[in-house]
Amino acid sequence: MKIFAYNDFILKEYEKEIYADDSHILFIKHTAEVYFDNFILGSRCVKSEKKGHYFFTSNPQKVLKFPFYASVSQFFTKPSLLFQAKKILKEEIPNNDVFWLTWPHPISFLVLAMIGRKKPVVLFVRQNLEALIEVRYQGIYRFVGKLFTKFLYTYARTFHSNALVVSIGDEMYHYFKPIFKHNFLISDSVVSQKQQLPPRTMANKNPRLLFVGRLEPEKGLFDLIKAVQLINQKTPVSLSIVGEGGLEKELKDYVASIGFADKVNFEGYKAFGEDLFELYRTHDIMAISSYSEGLPKIINEARAFAMPIVTTKVGGIAKELNNGETCLFVEAGQPSQFAKAVISLIETPSLYQEISRNLHDQFNSNSLEYWSGEFAEIVKTYIDKDFKK
């Protein structure tokens, strides 16, 4: 069985090898190689003068290269992108048995339109795209983006009601539950069982908070920095911010303006690997201040390293974690609540220990090996028993 996976990566071609900077490619690679006879990954691809963070393949037959686009909005300003993609897909579609598509996306829409109901389709939903558009875009781009997203949802519901929908996070799983009868919830963990640490006993004397993610508006980083200010009024803490993005300069300027350069450290991007693992080992609390999320991979990373979590109650996180058991929840946009929760963890070792132990215990059923196998079993069962042409 050959599976075609489409994902909105920017693949990097370096000396005939293909890399990606998004760790989700590790989940795709492991699943495709272990559980399917053959596979091909479709994505935009660019020549690169250096390696990406994650090696994918040196076999050109494993990659279907699409034209580069800076953002999905370019499909509206440059319609030729869709025509180019259609020409590429026309030759490849007949060679595949099942289609694993990032949803919603214009190229995934093309695939659906071209195959009709002739072959099994997996619509893979990683987060609430409408919520992301609301936060990230403004004006006409926000309006058109949300309108097109609704169109894609309506199209799939009308013409592909028998598709298999697999969501990352509880929010989108429940959104699609009344619409698609083949609807499942999984995690796309990329953390191997090899990384697991034992439970922790207490925070260090000078606690260190860790944020890992894109530096974008929806991540609520100004709220998090304000929370760190409030915490330091009572007890000394520091914050390490791992990642890059459009707000990096603005955030650094803000930290300097409030005189907190010694308390907030910008670590830059850290690929999923030993450098990032060392930060998990040396920090005490995972901080998530987002306004919108699916089910971020850092949840399973925190589980692997038994790191207690303080997080906003949004998206898939709201159902994946339990307040007082595997995290402390706060409302988005409330720095004072965030500060209070962090102080509670620091000052209550028994609570810190319990959350760390519970996260550790959950990891065996949340590793890369576990969820890759679960996803493959869902797909194969759907093909064998539920798919009807």
239, 265 in Cβ contact below 8 A? yes
d(CA 162, CA 183): 10
Sign of the torsion formed by the C-alpha atoms of 148, 149, 153 and 154 = negative
Say if strands 182-186 and 164-168 run parallel, antiparallel, or are unpaired.
parallel
- Residue 62: name the closest of 119, 16, 125, 112 by CA: 16
How many CB atoms sit inside 10 A of residue 269's CB? 15
Measure the CA–CA gap between 167 and 371, rounded to whole angstroms. 12
CA angle 11, 14, 19 (to 5 degrees): 35
Cβ-contact 308, 347 below 8 angstroms: no
What's the pTM? 0.75
From the number of C-beta atoms within 10 Å of its C-beta (0-12, 13-18, 19+), residue 142 rates as: middle
Cβ pair 103, 152 in contact under 8 A: yes
Q: What is the pLDDT along the chain (389 residues), one digit of tens a residue?
A: 999 999 999 999 999 999 999 889 999 999 999 999 999 999 999 999 999 989 999 999 999 999 998 888 788 788 899 999 999 999 999 999 999 999 999 999 999 999 998 999 999 998 888 877 887 778 888 888 888 889 999 999 999 999 999 998 788 899 999 999 999 999 888 889 988 999 999 988 899 999 999 999 999 999 999 999 999 999 999 999 999 999 999 999 999 999 999 999 999 999 888 999 999 999 999 999 999 887 788 998 999 999 999 999 998 899 889 999 999 999 999 999 999 999 999 999 999 999 999 999 999 898 999 999 999 999 999 999 888 75
Distance CA 52, CA 45 (A): 12
Going along the chain from its start, the domains and CATH numbers come out as 2-189+368-386 (3.40.50.2000), 194-365 (3.40.50.2000)
d(CA 101, CA 82): 16
The residue behind tokens 């099942």 is 98
Closest by alpha carbon to 231, among 209, 212, 247, 203?
Answer: 209
Cis geometry, peptide bond prior to residue 308 (ω within 30 degrees of 0): no
Q: Which residues pair with 9 in a beta bridge?
A: none
Beta bridge partners of 210: 240, 286
